[in-house]
Structure 1
Amino acid sequence: MPRGEKSKYTDKQQHKAEHIEQSYEQKGVPKDEAEARAWATVNKQTGGGERKGGSGRAKSETAKRADRKDSAYRAAKARSGDAPNQRPARTTRSGSTSLTELTRDELMQRARERDVRGRSTMRKDELIKALS
């Protein structure tokens, strides 16, 4: 069962969680497990409930979009039976759209290719921002 107060979530997030939960239940997942998975998915995709103030790190819309696309890609692969729980090797990941999944070295290489100024002193999150 999911922990925590859910009143801080937007109506859209709550609706999404209900929809995901129903989908899991139709697949035969027990209700408590389906609910926990649904909220975990909503949290990953949207960064959790509504927050006031500046606590925590916010994901950029680009990063969220890329994560959703990557998640949909993995789900489609799982449905088709292609390596359901395995990620592709790092060397074959050049087609990935999510910069957040790349290592700092890989980001640095992309920044070098695009001739991003000041890249040598940038941290990973700064490189992601510069490449987005």
Structure 2
Amino acid sequence: MPSGSSPKRERQYEHIKEGAEKRGTSEKRAKEIAARTVNKERARSGESKSASKTSTQDPKSSSQRGGQRSHSGSEGPTKDQLYAEAKKKNIDGRSSMNKQELRKALGR
């Protein structure tokens, strides 16, 4: 977190970081996600000295979006991500499935 951040932003940073770590994200990546999210919120509310155009003109805040854009590339989630989800849901035969079969088994 940048120095001079408000206690609210510090709490927000910790909350986002802990949530990302609970979902299995590495500590380094969780810190990056939390910092980017909090910095974007600071820019949107005018708390930062500089801000990118996308930070201030995006119609939805990151909290409203709730990960809506994650894994939305041209092919969606990777095979490893699908496999991890199948493992959580205890789907039989997942180790021998290809990406298409994993999608089908997960109902995607």
Please give the range of the TM-score, normalised by the shorter of the 2 chains. 0.3 to 0.5
Length-normalised TM-score, structure 1: 0.40
Length-normalised TM-score, structure 2: 0.47
